[in-house]
Chain A
């Protein structure tokens, strides 16, 4: 998994690093709309937070990619992060399971806690953190192994199953939860790479679920999928929200509107607005949010 992660992280780094330098003409007019640092409109806090994030800043070398963001992510909510490319939403997502650690020049500041525990404290084990906070990437990235081994990989290294029968159970239930069981049960020992894109993505979700995480981070999980596969993944997100906290970065506004309880709008490293999704898409509070979701710039 680490190779894939590093590749994805590098791609993200390239995206984010470009951001502040970018000054496309369409955006010049928007520059005039003030974003006050650390001032997020709407309802960024929750009574029942899973993640409590305060004054978070992320630097890539000299470049400040995340500017003083404070946000709660509530238990068992689906929250989506939206915003134009380079706004910092993926960078921020990656802070939640320390995916930015692998980038040498990246530095995360601020207070980030998961169930009250500091995510970035040195005594906290990253491997354990990532078992609790799973991740699904933009492009389906199954290991070049069998379907079975893909799902069994995590439970094996984390020692979650001692007997073959236990492992079989985990594989089956994970594939069921990912809505893939009926399609995969007769070909469990075929190569995962032989599946369709949509199936591969659901396999990646099954793989993430297999280690019983508490949170699932999704970085544009449907952008490489066709509408049918997308609908299946969205259906899955709705079902999973009963047992997991889900954070999803998406470029599809309709997707954010369909799947999430709350929506957070990022702009040039600022968290501009967080509100109930219904509010964001019918009458957003901030002018920048409005401009973005109505297709006035992006």
Chain B
């Protein structure tokens, strides 16, 4: 992985420019790792009724915010100092955008953690947790894969993530219907089910952000903006 990175961003005449770009990439991946573990732990906290773990997730959101600001600053400095062009420019611009996505993912994890705390306090009957776990696993793997695609500049994998997003949306619809039937079965379920709905909504958003990251990876690699375009178009771009 490191070899590949060096090949793409590490051969400028200015070694310090190399270092700066490398640092930007590394920091972004570090932030990605942190955010990913936050989502993971928020889900764990929820399904295991672990209020303390949920508290930890909530608290660590500050670190994510801090990292967002640091990476933005680093990116700004690179633009000011180096006036990057072509693939370097696309890397810096993409990182600036993707960092915002990661920060939002962090916020979603925090949201899930809050509900986990609330639900843990109320105790009992974890209805809809199966769906949470299912969609949770799905979006987590998307997030992981999108970071991986970024690290390896793998536009094919990025395209796969864009396609996955549709499936998550379908799963989300299905889960919503299931929860609705729970609510109709017994009105005492409504409050809890609503909380679970919010959690599912948060997870679905995580999938969207992973998808945004994937789109940025395609832009970095191929130089074409595939946002707001049908997947078939993106497929053509990646196939080039």
* Residues B68-104 near A (CB distance < 8 A): 82-90
Given A283-B223, A283-B224, A290-B87 contact (CB < 8 Å):
yes
Residues of chain A contacted by B90 (CB below 8 angstroms):
282-283
Contacts of B17 in A (CB 8 A): 295
* Mask: chain A, 263-298; 1 = CB below 8 Å from B; 0 = not: 000000000000000000111100001100111111
- Which bracket fits the contact residues of B? 10 to 19
The distance from the CB of A169 to the nearest CB of chain B, in whole angstroms, is 42
Give every chain B residue within 8 A of A298 (Cβ-Cβ): 13
**Bound Cα distance from A295 to B82, whole angstroms:** 9
| In the assembled complex, B11 has its CB within 8 A of some CB on chain A | yes
**Interface: B191 (CB within 8 A):** no
Structural contact, A281 and B86, CB atoms closer than 8 A = yes
- Whole-angstrom distance from the CB of B13 to the nearest CB of chain A? 6
The distance in angstroms between the C-alpha atoms of A290 and B224, with both chains bound, is 15
Q: Which residue of A lies closest to B84 (CB)?
A: A294
Contact between chains at B13 and A283 (CB < 8 Å)? no
Say whether A254 faces chain B, with CB atoms less than 8 Å apart.
yes
- Residues of chain A with a CB closer than 8 A to B224's CB: 283
B-facing residues in A159-193 (Cβ within 8 Å):
none
Q: Of B84, B85, B224, which is in contact with the most chain A CB atoms at under 10 Å from its CB? A: B85
User: Is A26 close to B, CB under 8 A?
Assistant: yes
The number of chain A residues touching the other chain, given as a range, is 10 to 19
CB-CB under 8 A for A282 and B12, given A254-B83, A294-B84, A295-B17: no
B14 at the interface (CB under 8 A from A): yes
Query: Chain B residues near A257 (CB, 8 Å)?
Result: 85
Residue in A283, A293, A297 whose Cβ sees the most chain B Cβ within 10 Å? A283
- What sequence of 0s and 1s flags, for each residue 1-30 of chain B, a beta carbon within 8 Å of any chain A beta carbon? 000000000011110010000000000000
Q: If A283-B223, A283-B224 touch, does A294 touch B88 (CB 8 Å cutoff)?
A: yes
Q: Is the CB of A281 within 8 A of B11?
A: no
**Is A281's CB under 8 angstroms from B89's CB?**
yes
Instruction: For residue A27, give the distance in angstroms from its CB to the closest CB of chain B.
Output: 11
Closest Cβ neighbor of B219 among chain A residues: A283
CB of B92, distance to nearest CB on chain A (Å): 11
**What CA separation (Å) do A289 and B86 show in the bound complex?**
9
* Chain A residues whose CB sits within 8 angstroms of the CB of B13 once the complex forms: 26, 295-298
Complexed CA–CA distance, A296 and B89 (Å): 14
Q: What A residues does B222 contact at CB under 8 A?
A: 283
In the bound complex, CA of A293 to CA of B82 (Å): 11
In the assembled complex, how far is the CB of residue A275 from the closest CB belonging to chain B, in whole angstroms?
12
Shortest distance between the CB of B103 and any CB in chain A (Å): 25
CB proximity of B163 to chain A, nearest CB, Å = 24
Docked pose: A283 CA to B89 CA in angstroms: 9
- How far in angstroms is the closest Cβ of chain B from A83? 14
User: Within the assembled complex, what's the spacing in Å between the Cα atoms of A88 and B86?
Assistant: 23
A296 touches B11 (CB 8 A): yes
Q: Among the interface residues A254, A289, A290, which one has the most CB atoms of the partner chain B within 10 A?
A: A290
Contacts known (A282-B223, A283-B90, A283-B224); A293 close to B85, Cβ less than 8 A: yes
User: Is residue A35 within 8 Å, beta carbon to beta carbon, of the partner chain?
Assistant: no
- 21 A-B contacts (beta carbon < 8 Å): A253-B83, A257-B85, A281-B86, A282-B85, A282-B90, A283-B87, A284-B86, A293-B85, A293-B86, A294-B12, A294-B84, A294-B85, A294-B86, A294-B87, A294-B88, A295-B12, A295-B13, A295-B14, A295-B17, A295-B82, A298-B13
18 new A-B pairs (CB below 8 Å) besides A282-B90, A283-B90, A296-B13?
A26-B13, A254-B83, A257-B85, A281-B89, A282-B85, A282-B89, A282-B223, A284-B86, A289-B86, A290-B86, A290-B87, A293-B85, A294-B12, A294-B84, A294-B85, A295-B13, A297-B13, A298-B13
